[in-house]
Structure formats: C-alpha cells, structure tokens
Amino acid sequence: MAYAIRCPSGFLTTSFAALLLAAAFSCFSVESAADVEYGLAAGYPHDIGIEAHPSVVFTENFEEGSIDETFGRWEDVSGGDVMSFDAEKPAESGGSQSLFLSSGGHLYRRFEPGLDLVYVRFYARFDPSCSNVHHFVHVGGYNPTSPWPQGNAGIRPDGDDNWSTGIEPMGESWAWDFYTYWMHMRSNPGGSYWGNVFSGKPSSFTAVRGEWVCVEVMIRMNEPLDALNGEQAFWIDGELRNRLGQGFPRGEWIWDGFWPDPSCEPSGPCDPEGSGTPCCTDFEGFRWRTVEELDINYLWLLHYVDEDPGCEVWFDDVVAATEYIGPIVGDEPPDVSPDPVPDTTTDLPADTPLPDAPADMPPADVPAPDVPPSDAGGEDDGAGGGDSGCGCSWVR
C-alpha cells in the first residue's frame, strides 16, 4: 500500500516504513481520503517517544505517578481539588490514564523561550450532560511573560502587551471556533471588546460530546513587526476546519465576527472598529505584535464552566511543537489515499498577491479602552490567577 506524505517540497508516495522515517525528519503531514492530515505523530505510534522529536517543545500525557507530580509540571494550577486521573483515554493513546476534571479548573505554563510559531494538539472529551462551556483552551503571549493568567478581559490589546486565542465549543452552540484578542480586534455593538470569532453564525464545526476529539491549533506570529502576515488555524480530528491569514479567507465582518463567505463581493474598506453593516473583504491577516518581546509564550489548559459547574471534561496527550502534529496513530498505519487533496497548511506561494493593510486600520499606538477588568463583565470561577483576558475574571 502507498502513503502520501506532506513535506515542504510537496507530496511523496511511499511505504509505511518510509512514512515513519519522513515523520521523524519533519515532513508536515499525511492526508487520507477523508482529508485527515497526519503529521509528526505518525512517526510515533500511540505517541510513544514523541517528546524526542526535535520540533516538540512540550508534552503532557498525564502518566505521572501522582496528581501532585502533574501539577509540578505546570506553573499555575486552579481547581486542583476537582482534578484526578481516570482510566478513560483516547483509543490510540499509549498511556493508561487521562486527566479528569469534575468541574472548572485550569493548568497553565509558559513556553520558555517564547516561540514565533506553534502547533498545540490535545485530546478532550466532554461529558454528554454538559450544556455550556464558557471558555476552553487558550494559547497566547504576555510582555513581560507571566507565571499565571493576567487580567485583560474586555480590553483590546495595544500590540506590545498581550494577545490570546482560544479554541472553544462556544457556549451553548457546541460548535468549534476561535475566541481571539489582538490589537485589531473589533468591538461588539455596545462598544465592548470581547473575543472575536471567525467560523460562522454559528460555526458549522460541531463540538461532539461523549467522545474523544483531537483538537489542534496553529499560531504564526507576524514578522516583520509592521506586517499583517500573522496566522491562525485549527483542525478537528485531523481535518483542517479554519485557517486565517493575510488575504484569506474571503468573508464578511459584522461587528466582532468574521464570517467566511467565498461568494461575497468585496465591499471594503471595512470599519476597523466594527460595524453592524456586513462588509465583505479578504481577511486582512493578524498583526499580533509591534515588539519582538511579545511572542507565543503560554499554554492555558482551561475548563471554565461557571454557568454549568457540573460539566465534566477529560484531557489527554497534549503536545506542543513547531510543526504540524496530527492525530495519534496506532499499530496499523493510517489508510491514506495516494492522491491527496492539495496542500492547504503550508505557506502560500511566494508570488501570491496579498492585500495591503486597510488604509483606515488603527495604528499600533491606539490605546485600549479605559475599562478596568473588574468592570469588564468578567466572571470569577474562584480559581485564582487574575483576570484571564478571555472574558473570565481570576482573583489571585
């Protein structure tokens, strides 16, 4: 049987043995007929030994001997009393247990040194009775770095202080989307700044309960500092669901939501503050930062369920790397088509025309609204740590 391997230079057709070798040498991914992309994890069946891959910067499989040992690998722990190990685990996982949360809590740690590109993959399983997850796993950056979540909810970043993006099942919608704070975020109709969303109204990417799901996010920082070429993307069970960067996708801004719509006719320039009038444009890209010191420097494994405190969740097999990771593979190789779909996760060709920054894009030094975190509508789960920057308040 032949397998299609995604490498920087294109696709190769090869044997499974070569597939493992290619994964070890940083080929990007392998695609199946179902559009499932297998990345560096394909070289490590059951994720065994994946921490040795040169692109991997952090792993957590919750196989420590005690929960306190797990806590010791993270810098800030909230709700430790609701966390325990459980025998429930993803089918292909090489471990014997996962982390179980019977209510809200978090694990938080920094990436040191910080990164300009990261892929974070984790497995999660929501209890079937869950009705509302307020906020979920976040990746972001603080300048200076912080050993715990800081207070930024309801405030648009300036570009030199912080940014964050969450991959979330979006409250009661149970559909995956980003929830993003950065210097060019739009406001809601009331003039407040809460995380911007990007995948539809609501997103069509269903968040399934009662089953393990593989979630992966990618963040690329803008470089140079005045560029809009930052990106973010997410995969669900190895299938690319949304990717946003300079010039893609096409869609409509409506207040603080960007709704992909390849059929709309561009009507910009769009109001950089947000507007209720739909404005079709090719997405401008992300200018995450204006200073080099602001990079990707934290991972926040968050389960915030203030409105549904009985919502239980399991986490397992967390990996952070500087290239695509993909789902765990088992002893049997993935069923891969020899004619995969075109590559959509590597960079656009160098000659692809990209739009200039909108003329009315606010400058980097536009101040954030003078709204103290305590008045920004955040919620406190009693977990400690300062205002999260994701619409939830943490009191340390």
pLDDT < 50 regions, the chain? 1-33, 336-396
Distances (CA, A) of 340 to 31, 221, 239: 6, 28, 13
Tell me the C-alpha distance between 86 and 162, whole Å: 35
Coil vs helix vs strand at 117: strand
Residue 62's identity, in one-letter code, is F
Before 144, cis peptide (omega within 30)? yes
Tokens matching residue 131: 């009705």
Query: In this structure, how many other beta carbons lie within 10 angstroms of the beta carbon of residue 24?
Result: 16
Pairing of strands 250-254, 231-236: unpaired
Largest interatomic CA distance in the chain? 61
Instruction: Sort residue 250 into left (φ over 0), alpha (ψ -120 to 50) or beta.
Output: beta
Ranges assigned E (strand) in 15-159: 29-31, 37-38, 56-60, 76-78, 83-86, 98-101, 105-115, 117-126, 138-142
Tell me the C-alpha distance between 56 and 262, whole Å: 35
* Enclosing H/E stretch for 24: helix 16-24
How large is the C-alpha radius of gyration of the chain? 20
pLDDT value of position 391: 37
The structural domains of the chain, ordered by start, are 59-324 (2.60.120.200)
Q: How many residues does the chain have?
A: 396
Q: At 247, phi and psi to the nearest 5?
A: 95, 0
pLDDT value of position 332: 79
Query: In this structure, how many other beta carbons lie within 10 angstroms of the beta carbon of residue 78?
Result: 24
Instruction: Return all residues near 176 (Cβ < 8 A) that are at least 6 apart.
Output: 167, 168, 169, 170, 199, 203, 205, 206, 207, 215, 234, 236, 241
Tell me the C-alpha distance between 245 and 287, whole Å: 10
Tell me the C-alpha distance between 154 and 196, whole Å: 11
pLDDT value of position 231: 98
* Enclosing H/E stretch for 19: helix 16-24
Tell me the C-alpha distance between 111 and 114, whole Å: 5
Query: In this structure, how many other beta carbons lie within 10 angstroms of the beta carbon of residue 363?
Result: 8
